[in-house]
């Protein structure tokens, strides 16, 4: 697979591409399946429908990798936290974690097993996907999941979880350890079900100052990655801590056993290359809003391909695909990356 | 004034400190005045009350600088845009800018003059402030103001304004030029009314990828700064583009005539010092949530003072003060910085 070869820095005939949130609301065929499912969580719980939306962008655009359709919050959900998706407001845990009793009540040993609908989705997708197309499994990072579990929902200030960091760091670590344990089992089972690579999304890495990021997020991500790589050395591990361009020096100094570093759009690709490009393959990082215009898309692609020079690079957006984009522009992007990077 | 000396890198007996949003909701005396004013915008419009809340934190904590109490959105408001503050949701422009006619309708020549209530606030504060305490005036940066004017309100995705950047860059530049013109006059008049330094807040700098930041934000900020420095070389200009730790190399390469660079908490202070510390005095950058705990505060202060080593530094938070903080911890912070940095 071109994508897997690129993850391991093996020669490829062109630079592979996939797009974060490539299965999503900008596709009319996704909206149809979503309507059929009734709501977002039903869609995640239904392997047949989840497999269908996973495959849609591949059929339409021919990316080099599909990414499992699911949501990072199915993990806390199966750890026993009630989860609802409120229209226009996003996810919500009506009973966030505040006390030791809440922490003790989390299901740790059974959660990974209960996510069987995810593994079934993977089996269905893999059976239908052409052999040259990779399937990427994923999870949220412990810090990002913990933030949702403590705040209850999206937040602009992260005041609740940061107050916990400042005043009850041990409580925070206890939650992060539980999540780390569950996530190891979750990724293992995804791999056993057939994914060819895994990505850990730390969407809220950018909420943490440097010291806190390394103490409360990165160490747990590296622990998960080490565990997976020790057991499955042939499976590439991709880490995507969003918005930490100021911390790359320390990421390099700490090192860690993973294959690909996901670069978000706020990190100049030259900077990521200079700090990490010789150690890790880089994935990214076009600003998604460039897709509003073909001209801006072309300029973005040319710049990134020029900097990376066909070496140790997987093309991606620097954040998720936007719901109001024309599918035509996604097709333009995929074709452009493939044609401009052809060796 | 210790603060002004520090802005110009002259020797000072200790490291001066002020805190972004130091006049605010965490102070019970602020809440009283705010209640008296009826709503937030009334408070901005009333020089006697605005002067009172500007002075409150100085009386209580003895910071080295007061910052004018106002809001960045009074500028678009006086350019003719209706503005409302919705309880729990923040500011809102019910008729955001979408067409050329909207752009043409903005008052450009008269806006700075109409902000007379701001200048009157400055005169009242300066008359009451002790001579060793500086008064800082401020404005929002053109990009941050333009974003509000186009989106209409706060946004997580910046999709409307970024679509405009991708598809109508010239329209965007036309708006930014108008704002730049108004802001020059606004800062000039603040200086004539008595402020001792000015700060330009680019709160939404972090919404832009590197190329777009320099094209749509930084160049206008530098244009304003050059204008002010040419006319008032004795007035320090402080620039605070939030969340651009990945772009510091280019900030350095471009240069510019300003005195102090404000460092937000997501930029490690070591990194800011290495990239810019020899050219500009640095202001910042303690993570505000450290103030939830005295221990975390002490560690943060010690680290920052250690890195900056009493040289070219003004202490501040790396973002605004939080509404749910104990005033006692703010007092602790101010005293700690003063005592630990005493030469």
| Nearest C-alpha in B relative to A164 | B292
Cis peptide before A96 (omega within 30 of 0): no
B245 vs A246: CB contact, 8 Å cut-off?
A: yes
CA–CA separation, A115 and A154 (whole Å): 23
Query: By C-alpha distance, which of A217, A225, A221 is closest to A258?
Result: A225
| Nearest C-alpha in A relative to B291 | A166
What are the C-alpha distances in Å from B305 to residues B17, B193, B284, B339?
12, 34, 10, 11
Domains annotated on chain A, with CATH: 2-340 (3.20.20.210)
The single residue of A5, A9, A21, A102 carrying the catalytic annotation is A21
B322 vs A210: CB contact, 8 Å cut-off?
A: no
B268 vs A163: CB contact, 8 Å cut-off?
A: no
- Is A71 a catalytic site residue? yes
Q: Specify whether the CB–CB gap between A16 and A22 falls below 8 A.
A: no
Residue B155 — very low, low, confident or very high, per pLDDT cuts 50/70/90?
A: confident
- pLDDT value, residue A73: 97
Q: What is the DSSP string of B180-211?
A: HHHHHHHHHHHHHHT-SEEEEEETTGGGS-HH
Residue B157 — very low, low, confident or very high, per pLDDT cuts 50/70/90?
A: confident
Query: By C-alpha distance, which of B297, B304, B299 is closest to B277?
Result: B304
What does the angle CA A178 – CA A139 – CA A141 come to, to the nearest 5 degrees?
55
Main-chain dihedrals φ then ψ at residue A248, nearest 5 degrees = -65, -35
Residues of B in contact with A303 (CB under 8 A): 211
Rg of chain B taking only CA atoms, in angstroms: 19
- Alpha carbon of residue B10 to chain centroid: 23
Q: What is the DSSP string of A229-283?
A: HHH-TTS-EEEEETT-GGGHHHHHHH--S-SEEEEPTTS-HHHHHHHHTTTSEEE
In B190-209, the residues whose Cβ lies within 8 Å of chain A are: 206, 209
pLDDT at position B95 over 90: yes
Rounded to the nearest 10 degrees, what angle do helices B169-193 and B159-167 cross at? 120
- pLDDT value, residue B154: 86
For residue A216, the tally of other CB atoms under 10 A from its CB is 25
Q: Specify whether the CB–CB gap between B153 and B90 falls below 8 A.
A: yes
For residue B97, the tally of other CB atoms under 10 A from its CB is 25
- pLDDT value, residue B87: 80
- Alpha carbon of residue A42 to chain centroid: 20
CA–CA separation, A8 and A234 (whole Å): 9
A293 touches chain B (CB under 8 A): yes
- Is A34 a catalytic site residue? yes
B217 touches chain A (CB under 8 A): no
CA–CA separation, A94 and B332 (whole Å): 36
Q: pLDDT in tens for each of the 343 residues of chain A?
A: 999 999 999 999 999 999 999 999 999 999 999 999 999 999 999 999 999 999 999 999 999 999 999 999 999 999 999 999 888 788 999 999 999 999 999 999 999 999 999 999 999 999 999 999 999 999 999 999 999 999 999 888 899 999 999 999 999 999 999 999 999 999 999 999 999 999 999 999 999 999 999 999 999 999 999 999 999 999 999 999 999 999 999 999 999 999 999 999 999 999 999 999 999 999 999 999 999 999 999 999 999 999 999 999 999 999 999 999 999 999 999 999 999 999 8
The single residue of B26, B30, B34, B280 carrying the catalytic annotation is B34
Residues of A in contact with B206 (CB under 8 A): 266
B256 touches chain A (CB under 8 A): no
Residue A242 neighbours by CB under 8 Å, 6+ apart:
A201, A202, A203, A204, A205, A206, A264, A319
What are the C-alpha distances in Å from B325 to residues A109, A159, B285, B321, B329?
38, 10, 17, 8, 7
Q: Specify whether the CB–CB gap between A164 and A156 falls below 8 A.
A: no
Average pLDDT over residues B266-279: 98
Cα distance from N-terminal residue to C-terminal residue, chain A = 16
- Is B324 a catalytic site residue? no
CA–CA separation, A206 and B242 (whole Å): 13
Beta strands per DSSP E along B157-279 = 197-202, 237-241, 260-263
Min Cα distance B89 → chain A (Å) is: 12
The single residue of A26, A30, A119, A148 carrying the catalytic annotation is A148
Length of chain A: 343
Average pLDDT over residues B20-31: 97
Instruction: Judge if pTM exceeds 0.80.
Output: yes
CA–CA separation, A319 and A21 (whole Å): 8
CA–CA separation, A70 and A110 (whole Å): 19
pLDDT at position B156 over 90: no
CA–CA separation, B184 and B139 (whole Å): 10
Residues of A in contact with B324 (CB under 8 A): 159
| Nearest C-alpha in A relative to B164 | A292
| Nearest C-alpha in A relative to B245 | A246
Length of chain B: 343
Rg of chain A taking only CA atoms, in angstroms: 19
> What is the percent of chain B with per-residue pLDDT over 90, rounded to a whole number?
96
- Is A332 a catalytic site residue? no
What are the C-alpha distances in Å from B311 to residues A308, B95, B297?
39, 47, 21
- Is B280 a catalytic site residue? no
Min Cα distance B207 → chain A (Å) is: 8
CA–CA separation, A106 and A75 (whole Å): 11
A249 touches chain B (CB under 8 A): yes
Q: Specify whether the CB–CB gap between B221 and B202 falls below 8 A.
A: yes
Q: Specify whether the CB–CB gap between B269 and B250 falls below 8 A.
A: no
CA–CA separation, A310 and A342 (whole Å): 9
Residue B81's region, left for phi above 0, alpha for psi from -120 to 50, else beta, is: beta
The minimal CB distance from A209 to the residues B154, B287, B292 is found for B287
When mean pLDDT is compared across A88-97, B13-22, B26-35, the lowest value belongs to A88-97
Main-chain dihedrals φ then ψ at residue A316, nearest 5 degrees = -160, 175
- pLDDT value, residue A327: 97
Burial class (CB in 10 A: 0-12, 13-18, 19+), A153: middle
Residue B90 — very low, low, confident or very high, per pLDDT cuts 50/70/90?
A: confident
């Amino acid at each position: 697979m071109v994508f897997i070869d690129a993850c391991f820095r093996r020669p490829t005939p062109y630079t592979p591409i996939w797009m974060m949130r490539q299965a999503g609301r900008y596709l009319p065929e996704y909206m149809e399946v979503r309507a059929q499912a009734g709501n977002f969580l039903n869609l995640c719980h239904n392997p047949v429908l989840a497999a269908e939306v996973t495959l849609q962008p591949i059929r339409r655009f021919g990316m080099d990798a599909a990414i499992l359709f699911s949501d990072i919050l199915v993990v806390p959900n199966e750890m026993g936290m009630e989860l609802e998706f409120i229209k226009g407001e996003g996810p919500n845990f009506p009973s966030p974690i505040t006390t030791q009793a809440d922490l003790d009540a989390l299901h740790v040993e059974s959660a990974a097993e209960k996510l069987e609908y995810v593994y079934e989705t993977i089996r269905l997708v893999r059976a239908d996907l052409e052999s040259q197309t990779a399937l990427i499994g994923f999870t949220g990072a412990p810090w990002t999941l913990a933030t949702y579990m403590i705040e209850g929902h999206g937040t602009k200030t992260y005041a609740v979880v940061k107050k916990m960091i400042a005043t009850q760091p041990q409580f925070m670590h206890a939650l992060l350890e539980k999540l780390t344990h569950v996530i190891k089992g979750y990724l293992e089972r995804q791999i056993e079900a057939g994914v060819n690579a895994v990505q850990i999304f730390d969407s809220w890495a950018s909420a943490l100052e440097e010291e806190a990021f390394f103490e409360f997020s990165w160490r747990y991500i590296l622990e998960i990655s080490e565990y997976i790589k020790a057991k499955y050395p042939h499976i590439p591990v991709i880490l995507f801590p969003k918005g930490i361009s100021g911390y790359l020096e320390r990421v390099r100094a700490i090192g860690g056993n993973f294959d690909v570093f996901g670069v978000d759009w706020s990190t100049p690709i030259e900077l990521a290359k200079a700090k990490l490009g010789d150690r890790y393959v880089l994935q990214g990082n076009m600003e998604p809003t460039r897709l509003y215009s073909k001209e801006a898309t072309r300029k973005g692609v040319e710049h990134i391909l020029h900097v990376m020079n066909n070496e140790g690079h997987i093309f991606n957006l620097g954040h998720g695909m936007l719901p109001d984009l024309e599918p035509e522009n996604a097709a333009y992007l995929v074709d452009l990356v493939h044609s401009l990077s052809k060796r």
